[in-house]
A and B are shown apart, each in its own frame.
Chain A
Amino acid sequence: MYPILFLSFSGLITLFLGFFQEGKWVKPATILFLAIASISAFIDWNKPGAYFFNMLQVNNFNLLLSLVILITAILIVAISDNFKEIEYAHSAEYYAIMQFSLVGAIMMTNFQSLIMLFLGVEILSVSMYVLTGTDKRNLRGNEAAIKYFLLGAFATGILLFGIAMIYGGVGAFEIDAISGTLASNQAQSLFLYIGLVMLLIGLLFKLAAAPFHFWTPDVYEGAPTIFTLFMATIVKTAVVFALYRILHQSFQNMHLSWSYILAGCIALSLIIGNLSAVKQISFKRMLAFSSISHAGFLLLGLLHVSKTADKSLLFYSVSYLLASTSAFGVLLALKNERTENGRSNENISVFKGLATRSPFLSAVLIISMLSLAGIPLTGGFWSKFYVLTDAANDQFFYLIVLALLLTAVGVYYYFKPIITVFEKSDIQEAITINPIFKIIFVLTTLGTLVLGLFPDLLYGMI
């Protein structure tokens, strides 16, 4: 609860900080604010309850989620640059909007009333539309922003319609009221079903799950890399837990109805995501398709209403965001390599010869790719393990086989960068890495390995 309030104010302060000394203090201040917000989350530790007239649900798990989101945000802010070299950059606005968007993300994970969910989705999405278009002179970025905005606004409309329908069916916005009505075993109003489907469509769109994924590759590729990372990690985590709260905590009694919809989306996401990623040349586009397949895996964790679903999903999110931060971070560290038309090379070929030029960066990249592919020794393996064992039951076991076979396809494209790393390149000079990047990479890579060796450290703690 407190992070939401704090970040709303700190965002405002950040906006004004842009006036002082050409915005020199904006980035450090943002990190400081985010750190304070993370600490402020602990005020409510062990004080579960519903606050603000049943608008927010506070419990330790939700606080942990807020923490995960905030810490990821700190990592992302730390590896984003100062926008010093771009004269038209408005760093104060970027960082302020980032903080506001976190308000939305935390609302989406802690909501109790669907109104809060809608507002959270809206705050997060509007920030993302803006951030996608920040590189204004980049036509592809403009295209991405417009696409994202138009489609996203439509999806939000459907989401809102769905919430209205659910209200029509139940007469309440609170998720425990909904689950109470559903538990009463009476015939339910059809509005509830329509509303649930529309709500699902709206959220699955934000999650980039097939068949609502069409915006993903273009937007991921067009957006500045740092915001692509933001989308792939924070937005996904927030949406997945919003879905978790809706499906597992309010509509769990309608499991029979929604599990088939979900199963279809999972199968499509896995197939489309993995098969399309194989052909990509652009690293960001490849990761966009891979994020679609990861959306499928996350949904797989939601498929079966089980007691451990929340833990599995949190584990999956954490290991996914660690690996993504490494992968996108390496791309950012190589930003100044081989620019074309004033735009950095974002193809897989940018990693050529990395093994000799910077063994450190190549190790970071390789471990992140292994984790995304789900190879043991990395967090990615156990996250897949937890999600799959949660989803395993006779009814949908074919989905698990499908998921695992498509993981083999995943290995195919995740290894393309790894092979490129070992290719010989004409440029031999060593790459200098910013010390902040180094710290972040060490943290994320170690985190990935520790999760791979001792998954109980995180899973047992939740």
Chain B
Amino acid sequence: MLILILLLLPLITAIAIAVIPGISGQLSKNIGGGISLVNFLIFIYGLIQFQKGDTVLLDYSHVWLSNANINFSLSADGISQVLLGLVTFITMVVIHIAGSFDYKQSSLLYILILLTESALIGVFTATDIFLFYFFFEISLIPVYFLALKWGGENAPKITFRMFVYTIFGSLLMLSAIIFLYTKGQTASIQELAITGKALPKNVNILLFLAFIVAFGIKMPMFPFHTWQPDAYTESPTPATILLAALLSKMGVYGLLRIALPLAPIGWNQLGIYIVILAIFGLIYGSIIAIKQNNLKKILAYSSFAHMGLMAAGILTGNLSGTQGAVIQMLAHGINVAGLFYIVKIIQDRTGSRNLEGLGGLSQKAPVLTVLFMIVLLGSVALPLTNGFVGEFLLLKSVFDYNNTLGVIAGLTIIFGAVYMLRMMQKAMFGQLLPANENILDVNKSELMVLVPICLLVILFGMFPNLILNSTVEAAKAFTQLMSNI
């Protein structure tokens, strides 16, 4: 029941803000921020109760389409809980960030952010395949409008490309889902896994490909990534954070929950090729990131590279890969939100987000530099930061799966350090440009976001067992499912 409140609270708030006339932008910011905080606290409460053994709170099921045997059933196991935490936390952060910049007609902004939260909670907890699809597709719509309305000059074209890409993938997935549904006469993901296993090999391969395309576009994974760098760059920062931190996780989550379990024979046949593609994307993204000058683009490509590694980890189908991917989803979500926010701060202060227009900012903004450094090191996967555990587990899993691939994937540590530290060095150190003489350090409102993020970076880096222990059961269930084909 609690999970339903978690889902509906942002939705109802969003509708209320939209319908009640005369709510100003400021007021809607406060309402949105308050509600997202309440939602986060509700989630924490649910988590504590869950740890105590009260698992009913995070389960809900109700008949949705009675004739079609489709249920509105939500349930959060260990993996879903991690993602729920990420969603509720990042939404809070995004609303705060959106409030600190000047966006026109901003009450619509908060409505859209809250709607996204609702949809994402649905995606990460749905146990009915049509419910999953339903949320999977609508989660993009509010973000699309966010990017369209407040994006840069080229936003209409670029966000539209993103939309058509992902819809194309989703529709391929829908045809696979309908096929499975008519074969199995059930919409429960768990029961469909049995149906999927019984299907002949060639059908299974087609299903797997359809799923891979859908989730590969969403993540994005090589070669479906062409929409991503521009979309991340042109979108306003709240939309970018939503896209990079949350929406991309839907792809990985989909691989874990849908693609592999529902088309296991297809995975068995083609998994290795997809892993190769993912590793290729990882290296490719890293190399391009080194050559970029636009801060947002660097982050976009680094994000693309990280997603490749997560996909590879899931596709290996072993325990360390699964757990590594889950913990990396959390770490990457937190880090990338922090990084995009810092870039936005820098851009606001200096008016530039190109490396040429920056440099030496550490002289004027030492606190910002320290915070930037912490988050950045988390992203580079330095030990004792949250990125390390995930990346280590992922690399281990790929190495176990195939030694050569593991070695190649290992290069990412070097590349990652190169582009990230290059960005740091060029932007924050070196010669201070005269135009940037008068910039200010972080203010209180910005600290309110960045300090918790930095704390989380260190917390999960020091105590990864917090996550590993709570996800181990769900991850084991998954690997078990995948091991006996």
Query: A400 within 8 Å of B by Cβ?
Result: yes
Min CB gap B149→A, angstroms:
6
Q: Which of B63, B65, B164, B175 contacts A404 (CB 8 A)?
A: B175
Q: Which of A311, A388, A401, A408 contacts B164 (CB 8 A)?
A: A408
A405-B168 in contact given A393-B182, A419-B160 (Cβ < 8 Å): yes
Q: B179 to A397, Cβ gap below 8 A?
A: yes
Q: A375 to B137, Cβ gap below 8 A?
A: yes
Q: A423 to B67, Cβ gap below 8 A?
A: no
Interface residues of A in 370-397 (CB under 8 A from B): 370, 375-377, 381-382, 385-386, 388-389, 392-393, 397
**For the complex, what is the distance from the CA of A188 to the CA of B130, rounded to whole Å?**
44
Q: Which of A393, A407, A411, A460 contacts B163 (CB 8 A)?
A: A411
Interface residues of B in 166-197 (CB under 8 A from A): 167-168, 171-172, 174-175, 178-179, 181-182
- In the complex, the number of residue pairs spanning A and B with C-beta atoms less than 8 Å apart equals 77
Return the chain B residue nearest A401 by Cβ: B175
Residues on A with C-beta less than 8 A from B67 are: 308, 311, 456, 459-460
**For the complex, what is the distance from the CA of A393 to the CA of B64, rounded to whole Å?**
24
Return the chain B residue nearest A398 by Cβ: B175
Q: Which of B65, B141, B168 contacts A377 (CB 8 A)?
A: B141
Min CB gap B437→A, angstroms:
35
Query: A355 within 8 Å of B by Cβ?
Result: yes
**For the complex, what is the distance from the CA of A404 to the CA of B68, rounded to whole Å?**
20
Q: Which of B65, B149, B164 contacts A459 (CB 8 A)?
A: B65
Query: B443 within 8 Å of A by Cβ?
Result: no
**For the complex, what is the distance from the CA of A407 to the CA of B141, rounded to whole Å?**
16
**For the complex, what is the distance from the CA of A405 to the CA of B172, rounded to whole Å?**
7
Query: B224 within 8 Å of A by Cβ?
Result: no
Residues on A with C-beta less than 8 A from B63 are: 456
What per-residue 1/0 map shows which CB atoms of B125-139 lie under 8 Å from chain A? 000001001110110
A375-B148 in contact given A393-B182, A405-B171 (Cβ < 8 Å): no
What per-residue 1/0 map shows which CB atoms of B31-71 lie under 8 Å from chain A? 00000000000000000000000000000000111111000
Residues on A with C-beta less than 8 A from B138 are: 375-377
**For the complex, what is the distance from the CA of A389 to the CA of B179, rounded to whole Å?**
8
Interface residues of B in 146-168 (CB under 8 A from A): 148-149, 156, 160, 163-164, 167-168
Query: A16 within 8 Å of B by Cβ?
Result: no
**For the complex, what is the distance from the CA of A408 to the CA of B168, rounded to whole Å?**
5
Which of B67, B133, B134 has the most chain A CB atoms inside 10 A of its CB? B67
**For the complex, what is the distance from the CA of A415 to the CA of B63, rounded to whole Å?**
33
Q: Which of A381, A419, A455 contacts B156 (CB 8 A)?
A: A419
**For the complex, what is the distance from the CA of A415 to the CA of B165, rounded to whole Å?**
13
Q: Which of A308, A382, A400, A411 contacts B167 (CB 8 A)?
A: A411
A455-B133 in contact given A375-B138, A415-B160 (Cβ < 8 Å): no
Q: B133 to A404, Cβ gap below 8 A?
A: no
Residues on B with C-beta less than 8 A from A376 are: 133-135, 137-138
Q: B172 to A404, Cβ gap below 8 A?
A: yes
Query: A19 within 8 Å of B by Cβ?
Result: no
Which of B63, B64, B137, B178 has the most chain A CB atoms inside 10 A of its CB? B178
Q: Which of B65, B156, B168, B175 contacts A423 (CB 8 A)?
A: B156
Please classify how large the interface on chain B is, using the bins under 10, 10 to 19, 20 to 34, 35 or more.
20 to 34
Query: A214 within 8 Å of B by Cβ?
Result: no
Residues on B with C-beta less than 8 A from A393 are: 182
Query: A412 within 8 Å of B by Cβ?
Result: yes
Residues on A with C-beta less than 8 A from B174 are: 404
Residues on B with C-beta less than 8 A from A460 are: 66-67
Q: How many residues of chain A are within 8 Å of chain B by beta carbon?
A: 32
Query: A154 within 8 Å of B by Cβ?
Result: no
A456-B65 in contact given A376-B137, A404-B172, A422-B156 (Cβ < 8 Å): yes
Min CB gap A278→B, angstroms:
11
Residues on A with C-beta less than 8 A from B181 are: 389, 392
Give chain B's interface secondary structure class.
helix
**For the complex, what is the distance from the CA of A269 to the CA of B189, rounded to whole Å?**
34
Min CB gap A428→B, angstroms:
14
Q: B175 to A408, Cβ gap below 8 A?
A: no
**For the complex, what is the distance from the CA of A325 to the CA of B180, rounded to whole Å?**
35
**For the complex, what is the distance from the CA of A382 to the CA of B174, rounded to whole Å?**
12
**For the complex, what is the distance from the CA of A370 to the CA of B137, rounded to whole Å?**
12
Residues on A with C-beta less than 8 A from B148 are: 419, 422
Min CB gap B186→A, angstroms:
12
Min CB gap A452→B, angstroms:
9
**For the complex, what is the distance from the CA of A165 to the CA of B231, rounded to whole Å?**
60
**For the complex, what is the distance from the CA of A385 to the CA of B133, rounded to whole Å?**
11
Q: B164 to A411, Cβ gap below 8 A?
A: yes
Residues on B with C-beta less than 8 A from A388 are: 178
Residues on B with C-beta less than 8 A from A401 are: 172, 175
Q: Which of B66, B68, B156, B171 contacts A407 (CB 8 A)?
A: B171
Min CB gap A222→B, angstroms:
30
What per-residue 1/0 map shows which CB atoms of A110-124 lie under 8 Å from chain B? 000000000000000
Min CB gap B122→A, angstroms:
10
Residues on B with C-beta less than 8 A from A392 are: 178-179, 181-182
**For the complex, what is the distance from the CA of A243 to the CA of B149, rounded to whole Å?**
44
**For the complex, what is the distance from the CA of A403 to the CA of B18, rounded to whole Å?**
34
Which of B135, B160, B167, B181 has the most chain A CB atoms inside 10 A of its CB? B167
Interface residues of A in 421-445 (CB under 8 A from B): 422-423
Min CB gap A263→B, angstroms:
16
Min CB gap A460→B, angstroms:
6
Residues on A with C-beta less than 8 A from B135 are: 376
Interface residues of A in 216-246 (CB under 8 A from B): none
Min CB gap A55→B, angstroms:
32
Residues on B with C-beta less than 8 A from A455 are: 65
Return the chain A residue nearest B159 by Cβ: A419
Min CB gap A232→B, angstroms:
24
**For the complex, what is the distance from the CA of A355 to the CA of B149, rounded to whole Å?**
10
**For the complex, what is the distance from the CA of A98 to the CA of B71, rounded to whole Å?**
43
**For the complex, what is the distance from the CA of A411 to the CA of B144, rounded to whole Å?**
13
Residues on A with C-beta less than 8 A from B134 are: 376-377, 381
**For the complex, what is the distance from the CA of A415 to the CA of B157, rounded to whole Å?**
11
**For the complex, what is the distance from the CA of A263 to the CA of B422, rounded to whole Å?**
59
Residues on B with C-beta less than 8 A from A456 are: 63-67
Q: A400 to B175, Cβ gap below 8 A?
A: yes
Residues on A with C-beta less than 8 A from B168 are: 405, 408
Residues on B with C-beta less than 8 A from A422 are: 148-149, 156
**For the complex, what is the distance from the CA of A385 to the CA of B137, rounded to whole Å?**
14
Contacts A/B (CB < 8 Å), 14 sampled: A308-B67, A377-B134, A381-B134, A385-B178, A392-B179, A393-B182, A397-B179, A401-B175, A404-B174, A405-B171, A411-B167, A415-B160, A422-B148, A455-B65
| Chain B residues engaging chain A, CB cutoff 8 angstroms | 63-68, 130, 133-135, 137-138, 141, 148-149, 156, 160, 163-164, 167-168, 171-172, 174-175, 178-179, 181-182
Nearest first, the 9 A-B pairs at minimum CB distance are A408-B168, A392-B182, A404-B171, A376-B134, A404-B175, A401-B175, A411-B167, A376-B137, A376-B138
